[in-house]
Amino acid sequence: WFFDRCIRANRSSAKTPTLSANARAYGAAGRVTELRCEVPFDYKPGQYAFINVAEISLFEWHPFTIASSTTGRVTFLIKDMGPGTFTARLYERAQRQQPITLCVDGPYGTPIDMTEYTTVLLVCGGIGVTPCKSILGNLQRCKDGLDPALRVHFVWVARDASLFSLMQSPLKSMPTGPFTASLYANEPPAATP
């Protein structure tokens, strides 16, 4: 345990360049902070990393799934879990465009090689879309090297349809035929004035 902590402290002490921090409310689905940063490690879809924001706490580390699918730059989608929480303080900092000093330790978790299957069903709810976003993006990026018989179906249920904008780019670029999607929402998107 001690050696693991020493290695982790050394790896995670370097500051990670934060490319952007955006805060957005998604109606009934809640408030989400999108962090983009550059990392010195390679990762696979479905893995996660621990993050620390020095302006919030020097000693709090929280695990978040990596939502991006390309190595080098990482996107985290972090739901605000309520007043007084780390995630609420992070959302407020991003909303006010205050500096965020980010440290990232990872990746962790055993990735699943989706290319071994002929049918992949990705099911997620709400902000739980983060691992599916990474996996779907990776499958789309590698589609030319995949088994031609591969079929991917993406199912996402959210409290508010506005949350679907988090996947707007991957869904628009989804190749027809082998890739299909079904999106369900409890609340329709709010009408814009």
Residue 81: which of 71, 65, 92 has the closest Cα? 92
Strand 151-160 relative to strand 179-187, pairing: parallel
- The predicted pLDDT at position 139 comes to 82
Residue 74 pLDDT: 92
CA dist 33 and 98 (Å) reads 13
Q: What integer pLDDT is reported at residue 12 of this predicted model?
A: 63
Pairing mode, if any, of strands 62-65 and 48-53? antiparallel
Burial of 43-53, coded b for 16+ CB within 10 Å and e otherwise, reads bbbbbbbbbbb
pLDDT of residue 191: 57
In the chain, the amino acid numbered 174 is: M
Compute mean pLDDT per 10 residues along the chain, 193 residues long, and list them: 71 79 92 93 91 90 90 90 96 95 91 82 93 86 72 92 88 80 81 52
Query: pLDDT digit string (tens) for 155-168?
Result: 999 999 999 998 88
For residue 28, the model assigns a pLDDT of 87
133/172 Cα distance (integer angstroms) = 13
Are 57 and 188 in contact, with CB atoms under 8 Å apart? no
Task: Give the pLDDT confidence score for residue 146 in this predicted structure.
Answer: 67
Q: Please state the pTM of the whole predicted model.
A: 0.86
The pLDDT, as a whole number, for residue 4 is 73
